[in-house]
Amino acid sequence: MTDESIQWDFVVIGGGASGLGSAIDAVSRGFKTLLLESHDFCKGTSSRSTKLIHGGVRYMAQGYIDLVKEALKERGLLSHNAAHLVKTQDFVIPNYTLWNSFLYAAGLTFYDFLSGKLSLGKTRLIGKKKTLKELPNIKAEGLRSGVVYTDGQFDDSRLGINMAQTIDDLGGCAINYMEADGFIKNEQGKIIGVEATDKISGKKYTIHCKVVINATGVFANEILNEDNPHHGKFIVPSQGIHIVLNKSFLLSDNAVMIPKTSDGRVLFIVPWHDKCLVGTTDTLVEEPNYEPRALEKEIEFVMESAQMYLNKKPTRKDVLSVFAGLRPLAAPKQAGKSTKEVSRSHKVVAHESGMLTLTGGKWTSYRKMAKDVIDKAIEVHELTKAECRTHRLSIHGNIPKKEVDRSSHLYVYGSDIPQIKEIQQEKPEYAAKIHSNYGYTFAEVIWAIREEMALTVEDILARRVRLLFLDAQAAIDCAPKIASVVAQEIGKDKKWEESQVDEFTKLARNYLLG
Ligand SMILES: Cc1cc2nc3c(=O)[nH]c(=O)nc-3n(C[C@H](O)[C@H](O)[C@H](O)COP(=O)(O)OP(=O)(O)OC[C@H]3O[C@@H](n4cnc5c(N)ncnc54)[C@H](O)[C@@H]3O)c2cc1C
């Protein structure tokens, strides 16, 4: 990349699900591809999801059948292409009226039918007794039945990191901490390159390419206005929050789905890395932010909804972490539409300058979204035709489903596990745990630095080992040790170490509920 004489076919701006997916699609078709991420991979929305690989039951209820069918197909493909990260998850809907028993059993049977051969498991209606066995902590009063259905569950930023590695494995180049901050245009106003700044060294680069893909999620407006100052707003950010609790509040390996909370939204309680996530909300926000904060009314809403359905009721002091993410929804054409009504389908837009923007959609559908934007780019730029090859393309780390051993927390590393175990043997301190309550060892930290492009304490604790999202206080507690190991591994001094701890602690405090 440092060689500015390279002529790239594609420069993809943005290292979240959409950008990483687009770069994999382009490079696997044989195009010379460079991805630029201004922060760390998945720093934005792509590390802050509900961690579901799903068709979207709510979208089905809203009548978006094609969208659900497409996502269910993608769910099936991804559970094969990234089997180490996507697991089959049973969900139970507790029903408190007979009508709901019938409605959700019929609806979820149709949901399963839409997945065709890629079904992950059959929907079934179970009685009250069985429902309480499956969900021992669910409110028993008034309970009539349960509907069990199956969807996919994953680790979002770990998939993103593996996707960045896939780009490199395929001969492309994915760089973090490299911000796209300008365009080079020819006399006809067409983009022929990108200006970028290395945010670590401050060095500026001029990069030449045939096509630029803008995959910057909620930050897309900035890039669009950089291209054309009259562009205006294209994205509406809608915030969703999650709280993380001990699994004792779920007492089950099943997830709970409440189809209609008091504000009409779906509420999920999902087991994740031995904790459970509860969410989410849908709150329109004015401006995007790299560290969006959960609003008090959102926290109250999620807490109250959880308390309403759980016997052992969580309180604020039980919250181990709270995080917020911003949905990059395509702006509605009709003014006044609520964010719940704005289409969740993705959009591909080809601009006058030749740049293409990919936005909206969801994690689950990233492969199809990427295919659509690269197909469009080939058409608009009259590039040599090459078919999409990602249908059965393994993501870095993929191993056959039956070989995935979830009894060890290392399972998320898939085919890389033996190399992490080798690092544990390198030095006794690398086999030590980073925190006494968690299984993560310093070997994963070393691996993250050597092989996963992690550069800071935050990169490691937020998006490689996920401790910030699981238990923010534990993450704060082990930050000094992590900083010291990183400093040794990459040759940084004490001052750097201290500033890393300060920066991380400041950021992580926002994940604690006061
Ligand atoms: C609360 C919530 C729950 C969700 N749950 C699910 C779920 O369970 N399942 C599901 O399938 N989907 C879910 N989604 C949707 C999904 O998470 C998003 O659709 C997806 O992550 C968006 O990815 P993205 O790449 O478009 O955006 P982002 O992940 O935000 O990536 C954009 C990237 O662009 C980078 N960038 C910005 N400007 C520049 C620049 N100038 N130069 C270089 N890089 C730049 C940013 O740093 C960022 O990393 C959820 C979303 C939210 C908010």
Q: Do residues 36 and 179 both lie within one domain?
A: yes
pLDDT of amino acid 333: 56
How many CB atoms are closer than 10 A to CB 168?
16
Atom in ligand 1 nearest the alpha carbon of residue 325? 53
Query: Among 11, 45, 75, 194, which residue has the most ligand 1 atoms within 8 Å of its CB, making it the best to mutate?
Result: 45
**Closest atom of ligand 1 to CA, residue 20:** 25
Query: How many other CB atoms are found less than 10 A from the CB of residue 72?
Result: 27
412 and 490 share one domain: yes
Q: How confident is the model at residue 332 (pLDDT cuts 50, 70, 90)?
A: low
- At 214, which CATH number? 3.50.50.60
pLDDT surpassing 70 at residue 1 = no
User: Ligand 1 — pocket residues by CB below 6 A?
Assistant: 13-19, 36-39, 42-46, 48-52, 179-180, 215-219, 223, 240, 280, 325-328, 361-364
Residue 33 has a CB neighbour count (10 Å cut-off) of 28
Do 177 and 259 share a domain, yes or no? no
Whether residue 503 sits in one domain with residue 418: yes
Tell me the best of 43, 219, 269, 283 to mutate to test the pocket of ligand 1, counting ligand atoms within 8 Å of each CB and taking the most.
Answer: 219
Q: What percent of the chain has pLDDT over 90?
A: 90
Mean residue pLDDT of the chain comes to 94
Distance of CA 141 to CAs 137, 148, 301, Å? 12, 19, 21
Asked whether residue 115 is assigned to any structural domain, the reply reads no
CA-nearest residue for atom 27, ligand 1, is 217
Residue 299 sits in a domain whose CATH number is: 3.30.9.10
For residues 347 and 223, membership in a common domain is answered with yes
User: Considering the domain boundaries, does residue 286 fall inside one?
Assistant: yes
What pLDDT, in 10s, does the model give residues 429-457?
Answer: 999 999 999 999 999 999 999 999 999 99
Which three-class secondary structure state does DSSP give residue 513?
A: coil
Instruction: Check whether 341 has a pLDDT greater than 50.
Output: no
- Ligand 1, residue 360: give the atom nearest the CA: 19
**Same domain as 413, residue 270:** no
Asked if residue 449 belongs to a domain, the reply is yes
**What range defines the domain where residue 258 resides?**
245-328
Cis peptide preceding 280, ω within 30 of 0: yes
Give the 3-state DSSP-derived string for 219-241, with helices as H, strands as E and coil as C. Answer: HHHHHHHHHCCCCCCCEEEEEEE
Residue nearest to atom 6 of ligand 1 (CA): 49
User: What confidence score (pLDDT) does residue 514 get?
Assistant: 74
H/E segment holding residue 474: helix 472-490
- Of 345, 399, 298, 381, nearest to 86 by C-alpha is 399
Does 456 fall in a domain?
A: yes
Judged against a pLDDT cut of 90, whether residue 44 lies above it is answered with yes
- Report strand pairing: 7-13 vs 33-36: parallel
CB atoms within 10 A of CB 252: 19
Identify the burial level of 492 via C-beta atoms within 10 angstroms of its C-beta, where 0-12 means exposed, 13-18 middle and 19 or more buried: middle
Q: Are 342 and 324 in the same domain?
A: no
- Rounded distance from Cα 134 to ligand 1 centre (Å): 33
Predicted confidence at residue 335, as pLDDT, reads 47
The answer to whether residue 435 sits within a structural domain is yes
Answer for the pair 312, 248: CB distance below 8 angstroms, yes or no.
yes
Residue 314 lies in a domain: yes
If asked whether residues 492 and 417 sit together in one domain, one would say yes
Residue 207 lies in a domain: yes
Pure H helices in 349-471? 366-380, 417-426, 442-451, 457-458, 467-470
Which of 430, 437, 419 is closest to 486 using CA atoms?
Answer: 430
Answer yes or no: is 373 within a domain: yes
d(Cα 346, Cα 360) in Å, to the nearest integer? 4
Q: How do residues 315-329 score in pLDDT, each as one tens digit?
A: 999 999 999 999 988
**Per-residue pLDDT at 2:** 53
Q: Given this model, what pLDDT does residue 344 score? A: 64
Tally of structural domains, the chain? 3
Model confidence, pTM: 0.97
**286 CA to centre of own chain:** 22
Cβ–Cβ < 8 Å for 222, 179:
no
Q: Are residues 230 and 374 in the same domain?
A: yes
Percent of the chain with pLDDT over 70: 96
| Closest residue CA from atom 23 of ligand 1 | 17
Q: Are residues 440 and 493 located together in one domain of the fold?
A: yes
Cβ–Cβ < 8 Å for 51, 30: no
∠ CA 373-379-385, nearest 5°, is: 100
How many angstroms is it from 219 CA to the middle of ligand 1?
Answer: 9
pLDDT tens across 181-218, in order? 999 999 999 999 999 999 999 999 999 999 999 999 99
Residues 417, 366 within the same domain = no
For residues 254 and 276, state if they share a domain: yes
CATH classification of the domain holding 439: 1.10.8
